Amino acid sequence: MFSSFSFYEKARNKEIVAGLSLISIAVILNIVFGYFAMMFALYLSFFKWDYIGEMQFVGLKNFEIVIRDLIRGLHGAPYLLSPFYTGLKNILIYTAIVVPVQTFLAIVLAAFANQKIKGQQFFKVSYFLPATTSSVIVALIFIWLFMKNGFINFALAHIIPGFQPIDWINSREYLLLAIAIVAIWGTSGHFMVSFLAAMQAIPKEIYEAAMLDGAGPIRRFFFITIPMLRPMIVYVVVMGLIGALQMFDLAWVMAGANGGPGGAGYTVALDIYNEAFTRIRPGVAAAKSWFLFAIIFTTTYLFQKKYGRAMR
């Protein structure tokens, strides 16, 4: 017979009750704000809607709008007429700059922080500090630094003789680069912590054995540290890809909703926002979101498949 007393008596049941109730909050939040939102976006992508009136089924028309935008962009239409293409192009360039640099920089910073030198704690903290600051605040500060008569131009003019000050934020050529620099500055410290943890988990014996075999610090770094970090590198690159491809906050603050001069700072995420709330086409916005999701999913999947498994 079943009684509540005997049910809770069993240690196994207790564990299950405790376990399920502990994860339940996270699971429910994830279902409501993650999976439900995702499925609703898929549903929405087949409808025409203006938030106020009734939803109207339009089949694949929203996806057609996105594809037509891409085709037009490939044929060289100005950015105002092919916003999605512009956003996609920019975000791919941005990702190609940010992800390799931030990963490399994070490894280097972690290697430094892992040394037994005086004030090592100070460096760890100062590298990580940007990660604790809101990206909007970081972007606002960098707008000042990047101004035509701002600090960055001032410093560059002192380092490079004959340097002409660049109007970073208002220039079509440099805006995306400026945003990428801010992103690298802001995220490298965050990923450094991941690498630092992974480095400290590498068994000392391996280094000792290598030292006995006569390997110097540089060879030890390239032939032991880097290969042992490989799973973490894959993780950092994947997280970096996901973050970079859906970048919104920095572009919003530094370039503005319309992407700044010539749409140089326009991203896919900005376009999704504009589609949903400026042009009032949430269906098209949802279709674009699914496009972005497909791109992020395939790139990270391919990367994981190629590099993620080979370990061990």
Partner 1 sequence: MKKVLVGGLLIFALLFAVVASGCIGGQTQTPTGETKTETQVKTETKVETQVQEKVFIRFAGWSAGETEMKNYERMIKEFEQKNPTIGVKYEVITQMFHENILASFGAGVAPDVFYVDSSWAPIFIDKGALYPISDLADQSFIDKFYPFLLEPFKKNGKLYGLPKDWSMLALFYNKKLFEQAGLTKPPETWEELEEYAKIIADKTGKPGLAIYLGGFNRYVPVAVSNGAPKPWFEKPEDASWFDNPVVKETLAWYINLYKKGKIEREQQGLTPYVVAPGDVGAGWLGDAFGQQQVAMVISGNWMIPFLADQFPDFKYGEDWDIAPVPAGKSGRVTMAYTVILGINAKSEHPQEAWKFVEFLLGPEGQKELVVKAGQTLPSMKGFENDPDMWPQHRKTLSFKYDDMIVFLWGPKSGPLEGKFSDAMAAAMRGEMTIDEAIEVMKQVVQEELSS
7/222 with CB nearer partner 1? 7
Distance in Å, CB of 118 to partner 1, minimum: 42
Contacts with partner 1 by CB under 8 A lie at 2, 7, 10, 13, 16-17, 20-21, 24, 28, 49-53, 78, 80-81, 147-149, 170, 172, 257-258, 261-263, 274, 277-280, 282
CA torsion sign for 71, 77, 78, 80 is negative
Distance in Å, CB of 190 to partner 1, minimum: 26
Q: Give the 3-state DSSP-derived string for 226-294, with helices as H, strands as E and coil as C.
A: HHHHHHHHHHHHHHHHHHHHCCCHHHHHHCCCCCCHHHCCCCHHHHHHHHHHCCCCHHHHHHHHHHHHH
Helices (H), 147-225: 151-159, 175-200, 204-212, 217-220
73/189 with CB nearer partner 1? 73
Give the containing element (helix H, strand E) for 173. Answer: none
- How far CA 29 is from CA of 22, 37, 258, 289, 293, in Å, comes to 13, 11, 32, 21, 20
114/258 with CB nearer partner 1? 258
Distance in Å, CB of 227 to partner 1, minimum: 44
Distance in Å, CB of 249 to partner 1, minimum: 13
154/223 with CB nearer partner 1? 154
Residues 6+ apart with CB under 8 A from 196: 110, 113, 114, 124
Distance in Å, CB of 97 to partner 1, minimum: 22
Residues 6+ apart with CB under 8 A from 183: 94, 98, 102, 244, 247, 250
* CA 276/CA 240 separation, integer angstroms: 26
Which one-letter DSSP state was computed for residue 48?
Answer: E
68/306 with CB nearer partner 1? 68
42/228 with CB nearer partner 1? 42
Distance in Å, CB of 17 to partner 1, minimum: 6
Distance in Å, CB of 75 to partner 1, minimum: 13
Contact status, residue 178 vs residue 168, Cβ threshold 8 Å? yes
Residues 6+ apart with CB under 8 A from 284: 62, 65, 66, 275
Closest alpha carbon to 253 in 179, 151, 174, 186: 179
Distance in Å, CB of 124 to partner 1, minimum: 35
189/263 with CB nearer partner 1? 263
170/299 with CB nearer partner 1? 170
